[in-house]
Structures are given as structure tokens and as C-alpha cells.
Structure 1
Amino acid sequence: MSAQATGTIAVFGATGQQGGAVVDALLDHRAQVRALVRNPQSDRAQALAARGVELAATRADDPASLAAALATVEGFYFMTPEANSLEEVEAEVRIGKALVDAAVEAGVPHVVFNSVFGADRESGVPHHDSKHRIEEHLRTSGLRASMVRPTAFMENFASVMAPSLEHGEIVLRMPLSEDVALKMISIRDIGRVAAALLLDTAQAPGGAVELVGDELTGPRIAAAFGAHAGLPARYEALPLSVLPNELDQAMFRQFAEAAAHPSDLAVVRSIEPTALDLVEWIRATGWTAPANAAGS
């Protein structure tokens, strides 16, 4: 990415993974960044300040603080807290609408909303439909708006969906049939695409970009990790019942349904040519095979 002179870009969610990736990409462009934070004295907020990010103290339930923080900015990126219950879904919608309304009051020239894959329609997944409702509010606000809709994070393979090493074999388990291709994106590339839209170095076709860096079936994902480790690999499909709650089960059902619609991977790369596929992500992150599982 080349340096890009710009006015101030406001970021809500800058202390999180996705918002943090947006800040990284904006700073790479030497953009001026204002982070809307609840507690400017927190360690994460202070780490942003040390990198030259301006901090603005805001509360989602205080419209005046939000509008003041958005005054004079040229662009505004926001994401909403991930909901883990139906009560949190409603809270997420309230926060999203409040941020949109504040952007309207401040007259923000361009807003980028970090939504989710499939949010252009109601899906039956409560914490995805919440983003659909926020998108609809943004769409009717009169603001110039762009949606970025990430798919599953490749970073999940370093945490909740990490492969294991068992008896000298890489084993990957997910609640997806082995013939279902999982759409995925790296968090780094979410930030880079959002930054390109905010800085007007790229446009979102039709106002939205589905963020897919790769789509592979479980056996092919396992094979990619095995090839990197120089070890045999296998995939085991798990039942949805292994997931802890109905929200997660509904999300994986949607992953399976989405697989029936192949993605145009060229769209993301037209905005961010260095967008990572899974093999590149494995290499770039320095992934190494875990220790043998207990008893293996």
C-alpha cells in the first residue's frame, strides 16, 4: 500500500481485532486516525495513542459524545460488538443505529460498516440478522455508505478451530460436512479492504464487498496444514451438537448454505492485491504444528 494523504478517519472498535486491523492499514497510509473509545486510559487505548492515534472518549448511550467525536472527520469505520445471546443482539442493534445517527448528525462524508457475510438478507442467524438491521438503517440514513462483509476468520485456525497433532498426523475437526467449502478471510485483509474504501483508493461494487480470501473444504484445509508441517493430515466432520449454543449452530448452518454459492475471489484482490489465501496465511503467520495431544 502506498502512502495516502487524508483528513481524519474515525474508527469505532479500534481496540478489537478487526478495528485494530483497520487502524494498522490506515496508519500504513499515514492517515490521521481518531479512535472512539470508552476508556482512553485503558492499556489498549494507550497503545493506540503511543502510535499517534487520537483518542476520543465516547459512550454508545450518549449521542452527543458520538456526534462530537465524529465532527470534521472525512470517513468513519465502525463495527458492533459480537452478540452471544438474544439480549445482546438487541443491544448490538441499538449501538449500531446510534452510531449511524451520530454520523448523520455530524455529516460524515463516508461511512464503512464492518458487517458480516450474508447480511444483505435475513438469514435466521440472530447475530447476523442484527447486522442486516443495521445495514438497513444505514442504507436509509442518506449517508454515503459501504459495507464490508467478512466471512470466517482464518485466525480461528490459531484458536477455536486449531488443528491438533495426533499420532504424528495433523487432524482438523469442524462441524461442517467434508464436501462443504468454508469461505474465509484473514483479519489483516479485512483492515486493508476497509482502509482502501475509507481512503477512496477503491470502491465497493454496489456498495458492499463480500470478504472472501479463500474457500476450501475441510479435507483441503487439513491438507494445507499438513503440507506446511510436512505431515499427513485428515479431516473429521463433527455434528452441530458439539457447538455450545444455538447461535453458533445457526452460524455454521449458514456457512454450509453459503458454500452453495461460489465467491468471486477476484473482487477482494482487485481492492487488496496481496490478500492472503489459506496457504499464504499459514506461511505468513509462522504457523507450526502443535505438540502431540495427550496420550498420542
Structure 2
Amino acid sequence: MVDALLDHKARVRALVRDPRSGRAQALADRGVELVGIRADDPASLGAALAAAEGFFFMTPEANSLKEVEAEIRIGTALVDAAAEAGVPHVVFNSVLGADRESGVPHHDSKHRIEEYLGKSGLRATVVRPAPFMEEMAPRLEHGEIVLRLPLPEDVALKMVSVRDVGRVAAALLLGIAEAPGGAVELVGDELTGPQIAAAFGVHAGLPARYEALPLSVLPSDLDQAMFREFAEAAERPADLAVVRAIEPAALDLAGWIRVTGWTTPRLPDHPKARREECET
């Protein structure tokens, strides 16, 4: 998001917990104004948003039910602060499917924040990203690209690049584009597991295969619920044209693989792996 705003020569103010951190200082080195905040301190939030022409926010990803409740508190506090400061336009980074209750706790938390934002009186836009292309992690095994996900092989996974989330959100925040109905689902591609594996294989010039894993491999009930929702989301067609109307250069998976310079993962550096690499 910061990259996209700076590309548009916008003045950027970042709300950070620790202005002295390495990540915060990296932003400052690029000309970003830093303002320290505490999510539990309404005064610090209000002061940070004073005179802001627009406000983009996202909430921390929850990994437990306790963190889900914390996410809702943070999200609603940020909405209250924006309303108090009279911010002209707010863009909230939600998640695909959060326009309704899905039964996925860390998605329903964003649904509740969306509802709260809708009742705030603020001019608001919601972006709902699909899973990130950056999360695709195929491996090189015996000279073959192998992708494993806890999704049936006939389910088309909706995906978007992190770059395009930032570009679309920036265009909406700056008023360069508008989202139909005040919300947009951010999907750059939708492919089945075998198709995803094949895209990496074509780029690498290697054979590729996909293995569908059971949900039981996932470490938590939240993750299992999330992947069930990904499978159900495949039944709802994505309107890729809406995203490309806002960001014409939005990437499909093959484009993301090419643009990011994805390379075939190296084998682990141990004797057995080196022998296998020599044999392939």
C-alpha cells in the first residue's frame, strides 16, 4: 500500500506502534511521516488522524479466538477515531467473503468491523482480498515441482497478489477509481491446484504435480474453517473485470510468477539432498 501511494506522489502518514523499530525507520527513510499510536488509547488514535485526507487500515490477523476479539476491538477503535477526526474517506482491508457471516472466526471478525464501519456515517470503501499468491509454496522434489494444499484438486482457489491489493486500495483511497457499491472483491486469478502447480512448472521448465491434503494437516480449527470457506468460495464466480477496471495491470498467477522472478526452490543443504539433486 505504501509503495502504491508513494508511486502516486501522495503524502503518507503511517500509524505505528514503535516509531523506532527497523520497519518504521525504513518507511521514514522513504519520506513517510511516522506517528506512534496505541490501539487502546483513543486520544493517540484521534491525534494521529487529525487533518488526514484519507485513511487506509487493516487489522492484525487473528490466530486464536482471543485474538479474534482483540481484532474487533482494534478495528472498531480505529473506526471511532476516524469518525471523531472527520476523515473524508476510509478504506478498510477486509477479507474475501466477509460481506456475510461465514463461520470462520477470523473472517467473521472482519465482517463485524465492516458492519460497524457501515454504521459510522463515514464515507467508506471495503476491499476484500482473496488468498495471496505469495502464499503459494511449491517444492522441488526429485526434479519435479510439487504443490500441496488442503483443497480438493477440482476446487478453483481465488488468489490475488499483495502488490495489487496495495494498488487497488491506493486508487480507491486517492479517488482515482471507485468500487461499485462501495466494496470490491480482490481476485486476480482463480485456478485449481493442478493448474497452480502447472503454472509454476511451466515457468521452471519442469514437470509438476498437485497433491490434495486432508484438512487435518492444518494446525488449528481456525485454519481448517478457513480452508473450508476457500472451497465454498469457489462456487461463487469472481468478477475479474472489476479489479482490472481499477488496476489494468493486475496480475494473474503466471504474471505474478514472471514479475516477481520466482525461482525453483533449492533443495535442503544436506548430503542426501545433494545426492538427489545430482541424480535428477
Question: How high is the TM-score relative to the length of structure 1?
Answer: 0.90
Which structure 2 residues correspond to residues 205-216 of structure 1 after superposition, within 5 A?
205-216=180-191
Q: CA deviation at 1:165?
A: 1.2
Alpha-carbon separation, structure 2, partners of 1:167 and 1:56 = 50
**Aligned counterpart for 1:230 among listed residues 205, 215, 226:** 205
**Aligned counterpart for 1:73 among listed residues 47, 52, 55:** 52
Alpha-carbon separation, structure 1, partners of 2:161 and 2:208 = 22
In the other structure, the counterpart of 1:105 is 84
Q: CA deviation at 1:291?
A: 2.6
User: Would you say how many aligned residue pairs link Structure 1 and Structure 2?
Assistant: 271
- Matched position secondary structure for 1:109: coil
- Matched position secondary structure for 1:225: helix
Alpha-carbon separation, structure 2, partners of 1:261 and 1:105 = 37
Q: CA deviation at 1:168?
A: 1.1
> Amino acid of the residue matched to residue 245 of structure 1?
S
In the other structure, the counterpart of 2:163 is 188
Q: Decide whether the 8 Å contact of 1:174 with 1:236 is kept in 2.
A: yes
Question: Is 2:223 the counterpart of 1:263?
Answer: no
The superposition leaves residues 45-86 of structure 1 with CA deviations (integer Å, 9 ceiling, x where unpaired) of 111111000011110000011011111111000000000000
In the other structure, the counterpart of 1:275 is 250
Structure 1 vs Structure 2 CA RMSD: 0.9
Alpha-carbon separation, structure 1, partners of 2:151 and 2:54 = 38
Question: How high is the TM-score relative to the length of structure 2?
Answer: 0.95
Alpha-carbon separation, structure 2, partners of 1:291 and 1:274 = 30
Percent identity (aligned): 79
**Aligned counterpart for 2:109 among listed residues 130, 134, 158:** 130
Question: Is 2:268 the counterpart of 1:289?
Answer: no
In the other structure, the counterpart of 1:47 is 26
Query: Which segments of 5 or more consecutive residues in structure 1 lack a partner in the other structure?
Result: 1-21
- Matched position secondary structure for 1:92: helix
Please identify runs of 4+ aligned residues in structure 1 that moved more than 2 A. Answer: 291-296
In the other structure, the counterpart of 1:152 is 131
- Matched position secondary structure for 1:48: helix
In the other structure, the counterpart of 2:68 is 89
Q: CA deviation at 1:127?
A: 0.2
Q: CA deviation at 1:292?
A: 4.0
Q: Decide whether the 8 Å contact of 1:80 with 1:92 is kept in 2.
A: yes
Alpha-carbon separation, structure 1, partners of 2:30 and 2:247 = 24
- Computing the radius of gyration from Cα coordinates, the structure with the larger value is 2
The superposition leaves residues 256-285 of structure 1 with CA deviations (integer Å, 9 ceiling, x where unpaired) of 000011101010000000000000000111
Query: Which segments of 5 or more consecutive residues in structure 2 lack a partner in the other structure?
Result: none
Q: Decide whether the 8 Å contact of 1:167 with 1:292 is kept in 2.
A: no
